[in-house]
């Protein structure tokens, strides 16, 4: 439901092409695995933001225990197209 505003009609926001996914996870308690959270998020966004999680070519993730703007238990997610030569 949260991702529906990013769709173009029945089409994903990014139907094709390589993508970059950047994530900051402000965990609610000192438990949890960053890589498992990332995989769940990638699968959840498939079919709404992008057609297939295989499109994610690069990215950055961070788990934090304190953040000035992200509430505990929430994530900040940014997805953008990968430009030619950007994946270095």
Q: What is the pLDDT of residues 21-47, one digit of tens each?
A: 999 999 988 887 888 889 999 999 998
pLDDT of res. 84: 67
pTM of the model: 0.82
Q: Which CATH architecture has domain 4-81?
A: 2-Layer Sandwich (3.30)
Cα–Cα dist 43/26, whole Å: 19
**Sequence-ordered strand ranges (E) for the chain:** 19-26, 56-64, 74-81
| Domain segments of the chain as ranges | 4-81
């Amino acid at each position: 439901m949260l991702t529906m505003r990013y769709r173009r009609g029945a089409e994903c926001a990014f139907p094709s092409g390589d993508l970059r996914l950047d994530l900051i996870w402000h965990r609610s308690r000192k438990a949890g695995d960053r890589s498992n959270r990332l995989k769940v998020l990638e699968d959840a966004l498939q079919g709404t933001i992008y057609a297939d999680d295989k499109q994610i070519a690069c990215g950055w993730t961070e788990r934090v225990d304190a953040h000035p703007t992200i509430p505990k238990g929430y994530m900040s997610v940014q997805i953008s197209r990968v430009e030619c030569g950007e994946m270095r």
